[in-house]
Amino acid sequence: MKSVIPIFFILVLNSIIQFPVGKNFEVRLQVDSTLCAEDQMVYMYYQIENQYCMEDSVLIGKDKMDVSLYGQIPEQSDIVIFFDKYGPNQLILVASPGDKIVLELTEADGLGIVFKDVEGSQATNESTLNWHHSQSIRRNIRRLQGELYAYYDKDSTWFVNIEDSMQLLQQELIEWRMNIIQNSINPNNIWSALLTPELKTHLGNDSVNNLIKAAQARFPEHSGLKALSPDYESAPASEESKRIFKWINQKVSFKISQLNKKKKEKITKPKVNESNLPVLSEIRGRDALFNFILPTLDGDTVVLADFRGKYVLVDFWASWCIPCLLEIPILTRVHEEFKDDLIVCPVSMDANHDYWKNAIKKHFDAIPTHLIATNEKGELFDEIERLEIGAIPANYVLDRNGNIIAKDLRGQKLIEFLKELLKK
């Protein structure tokens, strides 16, 4: 009997001290060497209704690659983790009181909004699956929207088929969300699914209100679900919450400005043993497209001057740019219809080359020539930086001698211009 009592008290003690005083969940980050190349702060916060709460922060670096953040939440909630210098702006987890969440994070996870699987939180993994599946459906819808946009002169039967395909995808999205609303055991994920804009469009207000009432009956204490009632009035944001919100936005803006500044640093050019190498001019701005040398998808290099003798469409885009992705069917059509006389030359502005390559596989593999405007560190090459392109998509049409004859033509205007130019 004497040996049992100490063991009992040790178990009780362990259950009491599993979190620091005043905290009820833990997030353990195992961060790769790239994100820890220089010291930076990592912050963790959450939002319930109008209130932002900053829970914890920790320093990571070369000697601090495995760290823990602790917080106190009243209920299951979205938790956001923000990297101060390099890493996700929003790493989104779903935590419940008592959770011990563990995840590995690498540079490949990206710098924007990140959802990924973890250990210790089934709610987070359900949320991650929901996010990626929904994004996949929406990408397919955007692709079809792009085809409607690109092939505006097709017959009515083709249009009906595309619209039917879009409707089926919308229905798949609704059914996916309905499954979460009706079957998930995680109130925070149900709340998130109920916020889907398409629900009211497809089901109507009465049906959505009935879904909300059913969710509230299952989880009557969850504040997010309570707040979905039409007559619910949220308390105004506190001054502390306003201060935290402002501070977060300032931090994110400063981080983005610093990353953009690094992209403009001088870099070493690729080496080629060819003529027609670009010579940098003092002229800057959108009319400064004289020549460039850029890496290709297979690791070779291309000099713009090598295309002289044909018309060229140079299109600047990025994998994260939704308007750019909507233009892809247009570029594909241009390539298919005018390839005997014109070269389509997409130039990606992606800082991450893996994102660029993956986007080509998903959306863009019909076009043979693909170039990228950044080096492996994500920095713009000088020949592109001097163009001072403020927004994408952006494009140029060059004549057979490499002179600019048109800029920023898109959709039907681009097709009609090229038909007239090439008399097709």
User: What sign results for the dihedral spanned by CA atoms 353, 357, 363, 368?
Assistant: positive
- In DSSP terms, 68 is beta-bridged to 28
Would you put residue 266 in left (φ > 0), alpha (ψ -120 to 50) or beta? beta
Backbone angles phi, psi at 323, to 5 degrees: -60, -35
Set 36, 53, 321, 345: catalytic member: 321
Specify whether 324 is catalytic: yes
| Continuous segment of H or E residues that includes residue 161 | helix 156-183
Tokens of 83: 């990297």
Burial 345-367 (b: 16+ CB within 10 A, else e): bbbbbbbbbebbbebbeebbeeb
Tokens of 87: 């890493």
Backbone angles phi, psi at 225, to 5 degrees: -70, -40
CA distance 248 to 51: 13
Q: Report which of 38, 97, 32, 28 is spatially closest to residue 65, judged by C-alpha positions.
A: 32
* Bridging pattern class, strands 311-317 and 342-348: parallel
DSSP 341: T
3-class DSSP state of 337: helix
CA distance 292 to 279: 8
Set 36, 53, 324, 345: catalytic member: 324
Specify whether 345 is catalytic: no
The amino acid at 22:
G
Tokens of 411: 């959709």
Q: Report which of 265, 363, 271 is spatially closest to residue 315, judged by C-alpha positions.
A: 363
- Give the DSSP per-residue string, 1-57: -TTHHHHHHHHHHHHHSSS-TT--EEEEEEE-TTTTSS-EEEEEEEEETTEEEEEEE
* Bridging pattern class, strands 301-303 and 293-295: antiparallel
* Bridging pattern class, strands 100-105 and 25-31: parallel
Question: What is the set of active-site residues?
Answer: 321, 324
